[in-house]
Structure 1
Amino acid sequence: MQYSKPPLSIDDQVARLFQRGLVCENPERLKHYLTHIGYYRLSAYWLPFELAPVEPDSRNHHFEAGTTFDRVLDLYDFDRKLRLLVMNALERIEVAIRTRWAGAMAKHHGPHAYMNSDLFKDPWQHQRDLAMLSREVKKSSEVFIKHYLDHYSRPFLPPIWAIVEMMSFGQLSCWFSNTSNTEIKKEVMRSLKLPTIEVLEKVLHTLTPVRNTAAHHGRLWNRQFPMTLPEIKRLRERVMPNSAPDRLGHRIFNYLVIIEYLKSVINPTGQWKSQLMSLLETVLESDLRAMGFPEDWREREPWRGVE
C-alpha cells in the first residue's frame, strides 16, 4: 500500500484534534506546541487517551471524554525530565566502566592493548571494532586526539585511556564482551558489585537501547524495551519478573532499578535517587503503571523511605 496522506498545516492539525475531542481552552497555545514539538512526537503521549479501536490492529483516534492538552503536555514534560535524569546516571556508569576496563587492560597488557587481536575472543569482531574507532579518530577534532597525532606516529592510535573516550555506550559493551582476559572483566565486575561477568555483559547490552533512546530524545514513558535484564539475586525483590503480565519487565521501571543500583555503587552519596523520587511524585499512578511500576514500589528497596 502506498502512503498517500497529505501534510496538514498547523491550523488543520488543531482543527483535527478538536474534532477528535481533545480539550484545550487556548488554541494558540496548542498551535505553539504543535509548531515547536510536532504533532507526530506529541501523538505518542496522547495515544493512551484515545478510545479503544472498533477493529483489531487499528486506531480509533478519538479521545476519551475530558482528555486535555495540558494532561498530554504534562506527560511530555515529565518524560523529558526523566530522560535527563537517566542520561545523568548512565553517563556516570559509562565513565566508570570505561575507566575501570581501560585501566585494567593497560595494567595487564600495556597502553595499546586494545590494538592486539590476540587479546579478544573474536578477532574478526575486533578488527571491525578497531576500524570503527580508527574512523572516529580520523575525523575527531578533540584536542587530546590532535595532540597525540601531532606528536606520535607509532602506534597510529592513542593509548587505551584516551581511545575509550571515543567509544559510545554500545561500542564499550562490545569491546568489553569481546575481551578474552577474565581477570580484567572480574576487576570491572567487582568494582560494580555485580555477581558474574555474564551478568555485567548482559546489563551493558540491555542498557544500551535505554541509553540510546534517552540520548536521541526518545520516549521512556510507556515504552517497551526489546530486552530484559538478567536475573540478579540481590535485586530479585526489587524488580518486576520478566514473566510479569503485559511485559512489565520490559518497561523502564526495572531499568531504573539497575541504574540506581549501579549509580549508588559508583556514587553512594549522590542525590540522584531523591531527584528521581521527586519527579515520580508529579505523575499519576496510572502513568507509573505504564512504565512497569508495581503498586507496592514505594515499599520496595531502594525507594522505601526516600524523601
Structure 2
Amino acid sequence: MNTKEPELFCRQVNKLIEHGCEITDYEQAIMILNKINYYKLSAYFLPFRDNDGNYKQGTTLLQVYKIYEFDRKLSAFLYGIIQKIEVFVKTQIAYYHSNKYGALGYLDHSNVADKMIEKHKKLIDNFNTEVKRNKELPFVKHHIDNYDGKFPLWVAVELFTLGNTSQFYSQMKTADKKVIARSISYITQTECTYSQLESCLRCLTTLRNKCAHFGRIYYSRFKWFPSLPYEEEYKAYARGRNFIYLYPYLYIMKVLYPSPESWNGVVTELAALIEEYSSYIDINCIGFPDNWEEQLSRE
C-alpha cells in the first residue's frame, strides 16, 4: 500500500499557491501551517474549491485561517452551552428515575422498555468499564471503598457521557420518558414531547462529540434532522434537504437551555462572534438564515 510522504512547510505553502490560493505574506503562511496541520486546514478550503479541485479566484489563506479561528471559537461557545444542557438533563433523569425506582434502579433491566433490554445491558457494561477506567477519581474510589462499588444514579450520571444519557433516556419506558420531558419543558418554558426530547438528545450528542474532538463545524453537514417543537418554521427550513448544517441544532439548544430567561444573552453573544468575523465567513455555511437572531430569540 502506497503512503503519502510528509512535506516541508514551504512545500505545503507552494502547494496552496499551485492550487490557486492567494498568499501575500509567505512567512505568515509558514507560521500558520506551523500552528495548524495542513490536512486539517485543507478542510476549511472546501467552500472555495471548484470542480477541478483548485481554489476559486480570490481565495486567500488569510480568509481561510480566519474561518478556522471562527470555527474554533464557535465550537467552544457551543460546547459550553451543551455542557449546561447535559448537566440539566442528567439532573432531571437522575432525580425522577431514582425517586421512582430507587438509587440502583437504573441497573435493573426490568425498569426499561422490553425491546430495549439488550441495549440496556450493553449500556451497563459500558458503565462498568468506565468505572474501572476511572477508579482513581476521588468520587469513584470513595464508592468502591465505602459502598462496595455501588453507585446511586445521581452519582453514576457523572460517569455518563451525553451519549450514554441519550441512550438511557431512549431505553426508558414511554411513561417515564413523558414525565421527564414534561419536567424539562416546565423548566425551559418550551413544550417538548418525549419523542422530540429523544431526537434532540441524539442530535446534540453528535454535535457535542464534534466540538469535544475539535471537529469542523463550519460547512459541516449533519445527517440527523432533529424533531423540534417549532414545526412550521422548521419544516420550511428542512423541506427538500437530505442533510442540514448547524442551524437547527441551535434550535435544540433554545428548546433545552435550562435558564430561558438568559437565553437571549446567549443569542447576543453568538451575534457578536459572527459580527467579529463577518468579513470572512458566510453564515450560509452554517445554515443560518438572514433573520436568524429574530428566530432564535425568545419573546
TM-score (norm 1): 0.87
One of 41, 44, 57 as aligned partner of 1:65 = 57
One of 219, 223, 227 as aligned partner of 1:222 = 219
Q: Which amino acid aligns with 1:227?
A: W
1:81-230 alignment, distance < 5 Å? 81-121=73-113, 122-140=116-134, 141-153=136-148, 156-180=149-173, 182-183=175-176, 185-192=178-185, 193-230=190-227
CA shift, 1:240, in A, is 5.1
Compared with structure 1, are the counterparts of its residues 278 and 295 closer, same or farther at alpha carbon in structure 2 (3 Å cutoff)? same
CA contact (8 A) 1:101 1:185 kept: no
Distance 2:228 2:92 in 1: 23
1:237 aligns with 2:233: yes
Once the two structures are superposed, residues 83-125 of structure 1 have per-residue CA deviations (whole angstroms, 9 ceiling, x without a partner) of 0111011001110000000010111111111111110112221
CA shift, 1:189, in A, is 3.7
Moved more, 93-102 or 203-212: 203-212
1:257 aligns with 2:251: yes
CA shift, 1:24, in A, is 2.0
CA contact (8 A) 1:119 1:181 kept: no
Which structure is richer in relative contact order (CA contacts within 8 A, separation 6 or more)? 2
Once the two structures are superposed, residues 209-239 of structure 1 have per-residue CA deviations (whole angstroms, 9 ceiling, x without a partner) of 111111110011111101101142x464367
1:287 aligns with 2:282: yes
CA contact (8 A) 1:238 1:302 kept: no
Q: Which amino acid aligns with 1:206?
A: C
TM-score (norm 2): 0.89
- Unpaired segments of 5 or more residues in structure 1? 54-59
Distance 1:288 1:240 in 2: 18
Once the two structures are superposed, residues 159-213 of structure 1 have per-residue CA deviations (whole angstroms, 9 ceiling, x without a partner) of 1000001011111100011012624542344323333111111111122111111
Q: Which amino acid aligns with 1:174?
A: Q
Moved more, 235-244 or 189-198: 235-244
- Three-state SS of the structure 2 residue aligned to 1:268 is helix
Q: Which amino acid aligns with 1:223?
A: S
- Unpaired segments of 5 or more residues in structure 2? none
Compared with structure 1, are the counterparts of its residues 172 and 111 closer, same or farther at alpha carbon in structure 2 (3 Å cutoff)? same
Distance 2:11 2:167 in 1: 47
1:35-54 alignment, distance < 5 Å? 35-50=34-49, 52-53=50-51
How many matched pairs? 290
Q: Which amino acid aligns with 1:143?
A: P
Distance 2:122 2:170 in 1: 14
Q: What residue is the counterpart of 2:292 in the other structure?
A: 297
- Three-state SS of the structure 1 residue aligned to 2:295 is coil
Please, what is the CA RMSD of the aligned residues? 2.2
Compared with structure 1, are the counterparts of its residues 268 and 304 closer, same or farther at alpha carbon in structure 2 (3 Å cutoff)? closer
